Structure 1
């Protein structure tokens, strides 16, 4: 099965194609993703894996959500804000990442097999303090370590399972973060 990467802009596409020669990409042209583009993504998903690789900001998350509406099994690939800041430090976006960063993040999806889903439950993340009152700072710290954006609790659960993260691994990360905060 071929893999198609969904990106926001033509500069993102150019960078990905520079790193992964001949890689198929779909450009959304910003956060106002058209109905036609969504239909194309949906149609292509029948014979291809769809990988969503958008900017780590609100418009990027909105595109990601819209793609998941039409392709629930779309694969998410995330980049940290700190890894894609422009040289003048005024803009954030995939196009500002280094080739090495792009290769490191997309490589596992484009060069190898996609990981199996995990089996973390809501009870697991409750027990770890990753949902509930005052859980946001810890969840954001864990999310940063896992490079999965800044999700709410429900989205966090979906993303860690999509990536095949284990309860043991989450326990280790939470322990490490809690150790630093003491």
Structure 2
């Protein structure tokens, strides 16, 4: 599988994992201290080939994603679910731990930000669905983010991502129904 876009990752181990999974070029941010020269290379890559951001599913990874997105608008986003990015011994979370299949799946489910009218999903919808409060809120957000390929987020970030990725209310409802059915089966 060959990816046309350049994939933005955090470090060298992530590049190695990507190259085990498919044929792609990467730009490494070298962590969250992203230099101006790296941002300039990402902007050039976005202009010439397009960019997909694939960072670790943790706070530093999300911070890097925000920095790059703010400075280089129009990037595409790929998300690995946390369970696919945990090391075998469970002490590390990152792209470098993902299997080639998990990386290919994340890149196949790339989300593109559009400039259309914002989605009509409201904070009240998240609250009513038990996504911002209650005993299962965190697990529901995690599974919903996985199902919609937008990654894990806290309540405020979830609403922002639903709007940013133009998730339609129907898509939201369908994914939520699936998540709630799974939850009932496990109870």
TM category (shorter chain) comes to 0.7 to 0.9
Aligned counterpart in structure 2 of residue 151 of structure 1, from 149, 153, 165: 153
**Equivalent position of 1:73 in the other structure:** 74
Alpha carbons of structure 1 residues 126 and 73: separation in structure 2 relative to 1, 3 Å? farther
Alpha carbons of structure 1 residues 132 and 115: separation in structure 2 relative to 1, 3 Å? closer
Q: Tell me the distance in 1 between the aligned counterparts of 2:8 and 2:29.
A: 7
Q: Tell me the distance in 1 between the aligned counterparts of 2:73 and 2:157.
A: 13
Q: TM-score, normalised by structure 1?
A: 0.79
Q: Is the 1:6–1:53 Cα contact (8 Å) retained in structure 2? A: yes
Matched positions, count: 176
| 1:41 aligned onto 2:42 | yes
TM alignment of 1:102-121, pairs within 5 A: 102-109=103-110, 117=114, 120-121=119-120
Tell me, which stretches of 5 or more residues in structure 2 are unaligned?
A: none
Q: Tell me the distance in 1 between the aligned counterparts of 2:132 and 2:112.
A: 31
Larger deviation: 45-54 or 154-163? 154-163
Alpha carbons of structure 1 residues 176 and 115: separation in structure 2 relative to 1, 3 Å? same
Q: TM-score, normalised by structure 2?
A: 0.77
| Residue 97 of structure 1, CA deviation | 0.6
Larger deviation: 41-50 or 81-90? 41-50
Q: Tell me the distance in 2 between the aligned counterparts of 1:157 and 1:16.
A: 29
| Residue 18 of structure 1, CA deviation | 2.3
Tell me, which stretches of 5 or more residues in structure 1 are unaligned?
A: none
**Equivalent position of 1:171 in the other structure:** 173
Q: Is the 1:5–1:24 Cα contact (8 Å) retained in structure 2? A: yes
**Equivalent position of 2:84 in the other structure:** 83
Q: Secondary structure at the match of 1:45?
A: helix
Larger deviation: 147-156 or 97-106? 147-156
TM alignment of 1:122-141, pairs within 5 A: 122-123=121-122, 125-129=123-127, 134=133, 137=138, 138-141=140-143
